Chain A
């Protein structure tokens, strides 16, 4: 699922080469994605009032639901 997040985020930012995502299993069912982007791109992945971040989370939640999991996306700053 990491690939999906990476695929979307890389299209959103100015510096795709600085996109870095780590995936951690919190338990059997929960995956945490820690998303790191260039400082100048932070605003792009968060969006006004966090709208972009929320939309990314919704899409990731859909993908993980299909796989019987839940996912958490954390944006590191």
Chain B
């Protein structure tokens, strides 16, 4: 009954709807990124978002709209560094993310006066999301979702065995670029849900939870989506009911799902043995 009461508040409804779309996108992208051992790109791009939010505040523009192109370019930068500069993915992510943080700190230091706004983005607050942001987030999430579903088999094939995917005629360079660009958009959107500091959790936790118990690739995608949606809805409700920070509560709910799946898997396997 309490949950139904929550839904009378428009800001709660907005948060749940927007959060659900973003969580769904994160959960699907997360499976692909985790299986490619590229999951920390979310963390790296979130750090870039810190710099891009500073640029947005400096230019007195909405940080989300300024961040999307900057983070998308950075995501391609990580990919190109990995391909061309003889760097492992983690090193490329490290370079780009540290530049993002350093840039943000420098801009905040030079400009001054907007430190409070900048640091509010570190922890996010989906309960304060505006109608315009809801619309933009849902539109972008739907675009990302459609692209993922459209290229589902290509991503499945290239994630499982990139060489075979190339032999099959799949343009792996193109779909890898699309994947990191989508990740860039998603990281900026997720910033409003859980904040810059916790964005990568939305990408990683539902995926690794699903990997504990899934019985097929399709099943992994479905479970990851269900976990992500449940975590956002439960997290928002708990945070409102107990007056806790929403982003952190969503992440902790995700973590509880992960721990449960981990124990379920281990218990189940022990019983089987």
Q: Do A and B bind each other?
A: no
Partner-B contacts on A (CB < 8 A): none
